[in-house]
């Protein structure tokens, strides 16, 4: 595929593995124990399957914007209709179970990028999962497009097209920055978006990208190099 070489006007960021990481994670086994202690006969394999179904299918299609609605749907998938007081506890415990945090290089890099380009975030993850821990980084993100807002999960092209629509740019005027060739490169590349792969020591390679970086600190310089002369 030939990518139109236009001036870069916008940068789209991935979330997990790019701007944020899991600082703490309590597994589904522990969470299923919590549910059983509350009187729900749920074990970890079915809990994980239900959670992934809700996250990747129900959440985008039904636009489950709040924690309470999201976790009520999770319990419905498991065959239960808990009272509101239980949903509040379940939502709180699940949110505590997976604590997100920004990478040390994220805030300053996004700030520098935002000085010259429009910015967007493309992620399936619900906004309520990252709004607070990523608040300082999000100050420099013009548009957040998540699963509920796009109505799809990554890497559905509709998510990237929605980013372009909100940014007001063509594919050739945008750069996608992410850590996964599968989720952050293949589809954007097919749409004509330039791609930069972030490899945080995982040894990830991809022939479709314009550049590969080891830290977001490198991104402003790389973007400048990608501009047509």
Annotated domain spans of the chain:
10-19+103-226, 24-99
pLDDT, mean of each 10-residue run, the chain (229 residues): 70 97 87 96 97 96 94 98 96 89 97 98 95 96 96 97 98 96 94 94 82 95 88
Q: List, as one string, the DSSP characters of the chain.
A: -PPP-PPP-EEEE-SBTTTEEEEEE--HHHHHHHHHHTT----HHHHHHHHHHIIIIIHHHHT--SHHHHHHHHHHHTT----HHHHHHHHHHHHHHEEEEE-TTHHHHHHHHHHHSEEEEE-SS-HHHHTTTTHHHHTT-SEEE-HHHHTS-TT-HHHHHHHHHHHT--GGGEEEEES-IIIIIHHHHHHT-EEEEE-SSS----TT-SEEESSGGGHHHHHHHHS--
CA max distance for the chain:
65
> Residue 204: its pLDDT value, please?
79
Superfamily of domain 10-19+103-226: HAD superfamily/HAD-like (3.40.50.1000)
For the entire predicted model, the pTM comes to: 0.91
Q: How many residues does this entry show for the chain?
A: 229
> Residue 4: its pLDDT value, please?
47
> Residue 202: its pLDDT value, please?
80
Angle 158-56-60 from CA coordinates, rounded to 5°: 55
> Residue 5: its pLDDT value, please?
67
> Residue 6: its pLDDT value, please?
81
């Amino acid at each position: 595929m030939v990518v139109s070489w236009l001036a870069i006007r916008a940068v789209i960021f991935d979330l997990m593995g790019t701007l944020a990481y899991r600082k703490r994670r309590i597994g589904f086994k522990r969470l299923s124990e919590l549910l059983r202690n509350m009187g729900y006969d749920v074990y970890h394999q079915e809990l994980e399957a239900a959670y992934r179904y809700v996250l990747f299918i129900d959440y985008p299609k039904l636009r489950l914007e709040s924690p309470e609605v999201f976790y009520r749907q999770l319990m419905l998938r498991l065959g239960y209709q808990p009272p509101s007081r239980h949903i509040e506890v379940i939502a709180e415990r699940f949110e505590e179970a997976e604590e997100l945090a920004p990478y040390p290089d994220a805030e300053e890099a996004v700030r520098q990028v935002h000085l010259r380009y429009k910015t967007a975030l493309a992620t399936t993850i619900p906004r309520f999962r990252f709004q607070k821990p990523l608040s300082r980084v999000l100050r420099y993100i013009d548009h957040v497009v998540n699963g509920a807002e796009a109505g799809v999960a990554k890497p559905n092209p509709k998510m990237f097209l929605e980013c372009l629509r909100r940014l007001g740019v063509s594919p050739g005027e945008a750069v996608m920055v992410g850590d996964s060739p599968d989720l952050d490169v293949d589809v954007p590349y097919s749409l004509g978006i330039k791609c930069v792969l972030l490899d945080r020591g995982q040894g990830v390679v991809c022939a479709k990208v314009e550049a590969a970086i080891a830290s977001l600190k490198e991104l402003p310089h790389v973007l400048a190099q990608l501009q047509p002369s």
